[in-house]
Structure 1
């Protein structure tokens, strides 16, 4: 026996195996997803590898913990109330519906619930890009009561994504007006561009506007909208193929900046 014990834990949905002394002090931890053993002391390398032996399933990297990047240090210094990363898709609508669910019997569906469904569908599609080097933030509050539905940051740049519920409806685009089904037209494209401009100002980087339509909408347009990319929710995975704009370090730095609530207080 080498006086070490292995304690499994879960952090942010990921399993880590901590190697501890009998008095509870950590000497190493094993991150299975990264296939890395982080040693706090090189003196215990052989003992740590022996203790973790039954848990290793393939090649691993062994060494001291990596030095935090400036972006990671900025994230770690954030107060939990100022960190927007935990926001769920449609966070603001979820809170509003929880506070005021509306009358139990309505002649027409609550439009907030359709808007929430759109943000959830689009948000889930964007979250699936995370493994390709992208980050998504949801429901970013802006001064004046407005908000960004989603902000996508990755190798292909930054995108402010506005989700619109358009289930099997005809969507007519006549910049800046958008007509959804039989509803009255309204200048949604102007709002989508304005949100991207505010994000550009906050992050001092170019942010491209996207209008994301959910559930098999039929799109008609006399001419392509100025600057705004219009996509179906099923087309959002194609954004993962974009690249050549931001380096990984730039992506992390912008993500650290964007997740800080204070970044958005003056836009």
Structure 2
């Protein structure tokens, strides 16, 4: 391990953390792909990366990125990097920058070592306007349409208005509502990224909400079941840490809740 890696990439690792295992990671990518080939095609690296970030194993992401791009030309490698950059900004406010920065530093060092210098200009407009807040509220409503957690947003809006505004304008307006135009993620993939990262963290209640949101946005039950299996069992066994959400995320039951909430919403709108 180089000084750079120990200082900036592996700095948050706990004693006894398992080392990166390329074969295990490849098997996990195959497990995801085989669960739903159409959904995960070209998306496997992003899906596993955000799970690792949620597991506080951002140190493994640069190695995974290197394995995914070592045989690609510079243009294709930059495309892969841009997708990860977009995934990272989607999840940063959900899982926190400390979990993401190690992966960012490692990938940046790898690209620099290959002599690749992507455009450093932000992908989105630098200044926020009223439009971001409007778009954010609309996207927030769309994402949580079938979740059934309206009380949470009501309380946050009332007692923590600054956080509510930032979440709407920045997370949902500035970031998530633009993800499709910038990285080509479908709305389902964008919500999968959030659900996977939060599930990997073991945040059970929030994971339930975002799994329901992902299902409502178009993710298949197979893709969500595979994600839960990888996060709560496979990654947990690999990392040596028990995931608090293990055994508590019944995706079929959550799909039933989505259907029930859709019916309730339809009645309210009628």
TM-score calculated relative to the size of structure 1: 0.22
Work out which of the two has the higher radius of gyration on C-alpha atoms and give 1 or 2: 1
The normalised TM-score by structure 2 is: 0.22
Higher helix content, 1 or 2: 2
Asked which structure has the greater RCO (Cα within 8 Å, sep 6+), the reply is 2
